[in-house]
Chains A and B, each alone.
Chain A
């Protein structure tokens, strides 16, 4: 006979009466993970919706074509033949000066014809400035730059030889994010005014851009696909709406997938928490199940009652998580605003909520099933005989199969998010290995603490430690989840600190902190004197010649482009080579093969030196191979004479290819200078003097770059910290659940201790010490693994010195145990307040 579902539901409800608060707490273990998942999934969907909905606004045109240093004649003829509306743009870096304040900054100048953007608009304050700057020959200046330079609409700026009135502040340009505008803030001017700035001279690095709008529409992707070869030959890049959409979509999908995987890890931890809580819960229900079975319920019926309870519990937790996640969607766009190319507004995402509820319930159920399945085998004999075991002696294959199912679900989830068999397998295996390492480490830490714990320690400490290892303890799980979160935060602190130390080196007394480039040969002397006047020492004054690759190892560039088997990278073949010439190595270089061979006289062989990794991986050249460069249409035949290893992290002018002196002195070139400024004021004065006196030179204040990188790192670390805190919160909720689960046992112990003479204070101190020890164990585990991870990443990935971030580690080391202590205290209120007799009587 099968029971009606309503009876099972009724029994599940009746049975939960005394445990509802406890069950609710179990459910919270999945809440945080679901909240993160829903928030991130909703954000990802909204992002994709915006990217799809405003696709054309991302590019501002149907097609964008770009070329460094101008389009070739044949490219121009072809582009003209395309018809439609075409708009020209020139972009280059330069310096802007605010004459009123004397402040100057490096900017990215966009000289634009009217008509762009063809879709969407330049967002400006005031709104009409977007049109007025064309009509009145004015400039639009990045909003942040205007704030920094204390400029407002109507003020003047100097760009090259021309003074521009500021039409308004530039808020947003289609498809661009705000992250790097701090270093190279955009300034838009009408293209018709470019010549009067006198900034573009022969040899200037100016990028030419042309935007297209086709009416009637044409198949832009097909057009681009059919002409790829041609574009390669012309060294032209083509950007289409769908490419932009795909790139952006893919980038944000990667970001949301990564965040979702972290949220998923937290959900897994929550699932583990539910599983372990249910394990204890089932233990407490053994008698009731046995009685039900005596009354005629089958093992399956009893199992169904508790299964229903856990499904409902999981659903409540998941619903709460979905609600929280929906609210969190307000926060995420704020946090990530600088990285977003489109504005995101809050939107209720039902699919995300659905996924959250499904996953949260599913995960709670999945981890609860192994302990729940044991209910089927509880013998009715237990109602009359305390020592009776299970009703079946056969191995429980279904129970064991659940663990396989858990693994399969983890893999399935990873595959669902990544859509890649190998990556999903690596993620699942990586997750298992990480958890195994962490669990192993936690286990070792626990063992060591047990082993070295002083036997002569006070009774209170010994009892607290013994409590951690009471039957059915969840110590390992708690150490695992809190440790995992601690590990995430600590590792982030370490890596952030390491990166900041790297960039901070520019503030080092020795290191250069000012870079000037686009210097012409006749400007060097003046620049040097301006630098000296501002106490800036120019350490490196390096000529730079730009050239392209013509042929390699006797075969033209086109041959290698067509030959995919040769392995020569497209980047290596198409790039613009910025080379220098000298006969010696600099501090950041080390010769690894061959020798620097000087150029003796006209007609002599030219031996170049190539950066080792680039030679081996991109160009695939060996010593002695022929490389012919195209220098303003003049072929320059060279041979690889040596390989150099370059330390790119050193602030120096580093080059992939170095020519010997005597070859390129007469070629069109510009000069880069690196200097050390004593402080920001000197740098500002230097910039101002250079802008006033030397046209075309751009100066970058590396201190500003450092501050920008710091800002980006802070935003990135906020996101990572946010995810790590999700793991910690889950751990704390699991802890709260575990405290609750053991409450009856604790009350009884407290009553017994008080009956035999312990004071309330002593009983309370035992409990406090127990949670303090738990927090300390978790922190040791998490910090230990984080230090190990930071050491590995500093030596293997970042190749820098390993310096522990003691301050952050100390804060975590004190903070996490304090948190566990607080949670323990909150859970234990009332345990010692009741008269022992009441407790002992009730527990009978």
Chain B
């Protein structure tokens, strides 16, 4: 496996004003993630996991410190440049699926391709729906699909444009045990097939255990890194 750095986080701090004082939700967090690896960020509720994911994906700006993706600093980029970076290099899987409710399953999968101006979007979307086991369901709206099916559409949408880095925020948090297992399996299979770097945010230690590396957060601080253990 390549040892190139996909993601570098250095002295990352994020605080929010709350009334008269500032609340620090992330404090001086630093780590690197290698290309093609799988990493889990774990920690109890309120430990700053989702904030860290948002900062790594360029969805928010840190108070101090820096995030670099494939060697490019996100802080130096404009809002639009970060959008383009997400469009081309990043994929997302959300805890509550976040499919666009007015779009069919196929159209949801097509969106990342259409955003890139890809011509064969429909065919590729259908291929991906096949790969996640939803052949023939492309015309269904999210409300016509079960939770597990919705998350599989979300996985197809996350992988369809072959991102370099995929963030998954509690990908099985809203699913029952059996469905969770199937979605987890699919997620890791797709990772293997595509070579995408995978960053999981979860408080499910069993799921975290399936990754190559676990970063533990508590009170906004990185308290352990299995790679250094």
Contacts and interface: CB of A to CB of B under 8 A. Distances in A.
Interface string A275-307: 000000000000110011111111111000000
A777 B44 CA distance: 51
Q: Top 4 nearest A-B pairs by Cβ distance?
A: A296-B87, A298-B83, A296-B86, A17-B102
Nearest to A18: B102
Nearest to B157: A295
Given A3-B117, A385-B50, A294 B59 contact: yes
B101 A293 contact: no
Nearest to A4: B117
Contacts, number: 99
Contacts of A1: 84, 87, 116-117
A21 to B, nearest CB: 13
Contacts of A291: 94, 98-100
Nearest to B115: A296
Given A288-B100, A297-B83, 19 more contacts: A1-B117, A3-B115, A3-B117, A7-B117, A11-B114, A14-B107, A294-B59, A295-B92, A296-B115, A297-B115, A298-B80, A298-B84, A299-B83, A301-B83, A379-B59, A381-B59, A385-B50, A391-B60, A392-B79
Given A7-B114, A14-B102, A16-B102, A384 B59 contact: yes
A380 interface: yes
Interface in B53-100: 53-54, 57, 59-60, 79-80, 83-88, 90, 92, 94-95, 98-100
A739 B154 CA distance: 34
Which of A11, A15, A296, A299 has its CB near the most chain B CB atoms (within 10 A)? A296
Interface residues of A, number: 35
A192 to B, nearest CB: 84
Contacts of B99: 291
A296 B88 contact: yes
A287 B99 CA distance: 10
Given A288-B100, A383-B92, A295 B115 contact: yes
A39 B75 CA distance: 57
Given A296-B112, A298-B83, A384 B102 contact: no
B45 interface: no
A384 B117 CA distance: 26
Nearest to A10: B114
23 contacts: A1-B84, A10-B114, A15-B102, A17-B103, A18-B102, A288-B101, A291-B98, A291-B99, A292-B100, A292-B111, A294-B59, A296-B86, A296-B112, A296-B116, A298-B84, A299-B79, A299-B83, A301-B115, A383-B94, A384-B50, A384-B53, A385-B50, A391-B60
Contacts of A301: 83, 115
Contacts of B149: none
B143 interface: yes
Interface residues of B, number: 35
B102 A296 contact: no
A842 B85 CA distance: 35
Contacts of B115: 3, 295-297, 301
Nearest to B58: A380
A92 to B, nearest CB: 77
B147 to A, nearest CB: 11
B126 interface: no
Contact of A294 (B57, B107, B116, B143): B57
Interface string B164-177: 00000100000000
Contacts of B107: 14
A391 B80 CA distance: 12
Contacts of A18: 101-102
Contacts of B83: 293, 296-299, 301
Interface in A69-103: none
Contacts of B98: 287, 291, 294, 383
A287 B87 CA distance: 18
A294 B102 contact: no
Interface in B174-224: none
Contacts of A381: 54, 59-60
A471 B94 CA distance: 28
A829 to B, nearest CB: 22
Interface in B1-60: 50-51, 53-54, 57, 59-60
A294 B60 contact: no
Contact of B92 (A15, A294, A388, A842): A294
Contacts of B85: 296
Contacts of A7: 114, 117
A380 B87 CA distance: 13
B124 to A, nearest CB: 15
Interface string A355-397: 0000000000000000000000001110111001001100000
A67 to B, nearest CB: 78
Given A381-B59, A383-B94, A384-B59, A295 B112 contact: yes
A297 B161 CA distance: 14
A287 to B, nearest CB: 7
A365 to B, nearest CB: 22
Contacts of B92: 294-295, 383
Nearest to A293: B83
Contacts of A10: 114
A299 B98 CA distance: 18
Contacts of A299: 79, 83
A11 to B, nearest CB: 8
A4 B121 CA distance: 14
Contacts of A287: 98
A65 B107 CA distance: 79
B15 to A, nearest CB: 14
Nearest to B53: A384
Given A14-B107, A287-B98, A288-B100, A294 B114 contact: no
Nearest to A7: B114
Nearest to B51: A385
A470 to B, nearest CB: 23
A330 to B, nearest CB: 41
Contacts of A11: 114
Interface in A9-67: 10-11, 14-19
Given A16-B102, A296-B84, A380 B111 contact: no
A391 B58 CA distance: 11
A298 B98 CA distance: 18
A431 to B, nearest CB: 38
B173 to A, nearest CB: 11
Nearest to A382: B59
A397 to B, nearest CB: 16
Which of A292, A300, A384, A842 has its CB near the most chain B CB atoms (within 10 A)? A384
Nearest to B87: A296
A18 B84 CA distance: 29
Given A3-B117, A385-B50, A842 B169 contact: no
Contacts of B100: 14-15, 288, 291-292
A9 to B, nearest CB: 12
Which of A4, A7, A298, A301 has its CB near the most chain B CB atoms (within 10 A)? A298
A383 B58 CA distance: 13
A384 B88 contact: no
Contacts of A297: 83, 87, 115
Which of B53, B59, B111, B143 has its CB near the most chain A CB atoms (within 10 A)? B59
Nearest to A294: B92
B35 to A, nearest CB: 20
A3 to B, nearest CB: 7
Contacts of B102: 14-19, 288
Interface string A497-532: 000000000000000000000000000000000000
Nearest to B121: A7
A414 to B, nearest CB: 39
Contacts of B54: 381, 384-385, 388
A389 to B, nearest CB: 9
A383 B103 CA distance: 17
Contacts of B103: 14-15, 17
Contacts of B79: 298-299, 391-392
